[in-house]
Amino acid sequence: MFENIRLSFKGIFSHKIRSLLTMLGIIIGIAAIIAIVSTIKGTNEQIKNNLIGSGNNTVKVQLYQGDSVFDFQYQEIPAGIPVIESETKEKLKKLDEVEKVTLYRQRQYCDSIFYLNNQLSGGTVIGVDEDYFSTIGLRIKSGKGFSVKDHSQNQKVAIIDTNAEKSLFLGEDPIGKSIDISGEPFTVIGVAVQSSKFEPVINSIEDYYTYMTNSSGQVFIPSQSWPITFGYDEPQSCVAKASDTDSMTAAGKKTADILNANLTVNSESNIKYKSESLLEQAKSMQDLSSSTNSMLIWIASISLLVGGIGVMNIMLVSVTERTREIGLKKALGARKRRILGQFLTEASVLTSIGGIIGVGAGIGLAQIVSKFAEVPVAISGVSIVISVVFSMAVGIVFGLIPSVKAANPVSYTHLTLPTTSRV
């Protein structure tokens, strides 16, 4: 085996230009496939992050009436919908698919938020528990977060995001200032931002409304302080952080099932907790993207076919050139299997080298495409291994006919050992 590999390298390096040209089809094919697969994977990851949000694997579970989110701003609390108790929250935390859980209340498009004469038009007020910021992926940029006392003693304090800071305070330091929420003063103690930078790609008006619903600003208050300005005993919504992206659907469904078990509403009212179906939407978009790009992979694979034919052609030429060498080995007792193995090894080594070079070229090509076309890429280790193995398989398949021809003893019956000339 090792002797065959040594002989293969010797043959390849003795005809460098010919070997390089032979490998060119393999190199181009593997490089194209690596670049396309990397682009597909990167695009799919971007779809997940864009559609799901911030890439933090969170899924909202909210109260729905039919297909619409139940809005407590305009609708009274129906009978039979209790406040989610701490025992239920602990039960949710024990789900295998769930890493963290937080409960919150919300008023979307709230116009009753003021600082002096400045109004936060269309802002969002969120009543949060102690786990909200860590679950959602928010951190305090300036000031401080809510304390245990803030959550337990109905403190009239608030944390705002950077959009609310810009809209309300116009460059002033908001820390320690008082804002008016529905006629009640709340002291701003901190400014929050996302822990990780997230910039979704906006391609349509639908994308805008999906990703920019909170662009006017958000104001956070302790959940215990919610009754001061809004409804008393108002049911909460839930955010479950899944252990990984693929577990989001199961985490959302199981969370909704547990919350629905506590409802005693009339079934005809069609009111129940539901989870977002964003992961399914992401997968549908990914499937569409992958099916479109799979055609490119098939086109790129044609170059591998051309490269394989080139390998077979060169190996046939090599067999012809080395007829005397092969005949001499047969005359010395080399078996058919040994000759076959030698030429198959040479073809496999040739295409494997081409595959390795193609992988490097593919990674470089993917980075170039990412830079100039602004398309995200993600290098797949599995695709690299498969590409190298596949290139080796191409060498074996297309090197088989030349190898069989080289090993055929009938081809060398006319050959004789060279005789020593007499002086």
Predicted local distance difference test score (pLDDT) of residue 109: 84
- Residue 43 in domain: yes
Count of other CB atoms within 10 angstroms of residue 421: 5
Is residue 208 pLDDT above 50, yes or no?
no
Same domain, 71 and 212: yes
* Cα separation, 10 vs 22, whole angstroms: 16
Same domain, 79 and 168: yes
Is residue 204 pLDDT above 80, yes or no?
no
More confident residue, 245 or 196: 245
Same domain, 264 and 288: no
Same domain, 203 and 114: yes
Are 7 and 285 spatial neighbours (Cβ–Cβ below 8 Å)?
no
143 membership: H or E segment, kind and range: strand 138-143
Same domain, 229 and 298: no
Domain-ending residue, one of 245, 269, 293: 269
At 14-45, the pLDDT tens digits run: 777 877 887 887 888 888 888 877 877 777 66
End-to-end CA distance of the chain: 42
Closest CA to 108 of 122, 98, 87: 122
| CA distances to 36, 197, 341, 353, 396 from 389, in Å | 18, 38, 18, 11, 11
- Residue 391 in domain: yes
CA angle 257, 259, 264 (to 5 degrees): 105
Sequence-distant (≥ 6) Cβ neighbours of residue 221 within 8 angstroms: 125, 126, 127, 128, 156, 157, 158, 159, 181, 186, 229
Same domain, 170 and 124: yes
More confident residue, 202 or 194: 194
Predicted local distance difference test score (pLDDT) of residue 359: 87
Domain-ending residue, one of 218, 234, 269: 269
Same domain, 215 and 306: no
| Plot region of 231 (φ>0 → left; ψ -120 to 50 → alpha; else → beta) | beta
- Residue 62 in domain: no
Query: What's this model's pTM, rounded to 2 decimal places?
Result: 0.57
- Residue 60 in domain: no
Same domain, 22 and 138: no
More confident residue, 261 or 408: 261
Q: Give percent of the chain above pLDDT 70.
A: 81
* Cα separation, 35 vs 362, whole angstroms: 5
Q: How many domains does the chain have?
A: 2
Same domain, 353 and 397: yes
- Residue 61 in domain: no
| Plot region of 170 (φ>0 → left; ψ -120 to 50 → alpha; else → beta) | left
* Cα separation, 304 vs 24, whole angstroms: 9
What are the b/e assignments for 50-65, b being 16+ CB within 10 Å? Answer: bbbbbebbbbbbbbbe
* Cα separation, 135 vs 261, whole angstroms: 24
* Alpha-carbon dihedral sign for residues 263, 266, 267, 273: negative
DSSP 14-40: HTHHHHHHHHHHHHHHHHHHHHHHHHH
Rounded mean pLDDT, 376-400: 77
Predicted local distance difference test score (pLDDT) of residue 263: 92
Is residue 192 pLDDT above 90, yes or no?
yes
Predicted local distance difference test score (pLDDT) of residue 411: 45
Same domain, 99 and 153: yes
Domain-ending residue, one of 269, 303, 335: 269
At 334-348, the pLDDT tens digits run: 777 777 777 778 888
- Residue 106 in domain: yes
* Cα separation, 370 vs 363, whole angstroms: 11
Structure tokens of 362?
A: 């593919």
Predicted local distance difference test score (pLDDT) of residue 246: 75
At 46-82, the pLDDT tens digits run: 665 555 544 578 888 999 988 888 888 888 888 899 9
Give the domain range for residue 31.
2-49+284-412
Among the ranges given (97-106, 273-282, 381-390, 407-416), the one the predictor scored with the smallest mean pLDDT: 407-416
At 116-152, the pLDDT tens digits run: 999 998 889 999 999 999 998 899 999 999 999 999 8
Are 404 and 47 spatial neighbours (Cβ–Cβ below 8 Å)?
no
Same domain, 193 and 141: yes
Q: Is 160 helix (H, G, I), strand (E, B) or coil?
A: strand
Same domain, 82 and 148: yes
Predicted local distance difference test score (pLDDT) of residue 205: 44
Report the chain's mean pLDDT, rounded to a whole number: 80
Rounded mean pLDDT, 372-380: 72
Predicted local distance difference test score (pLDDT) of residue 266: 83
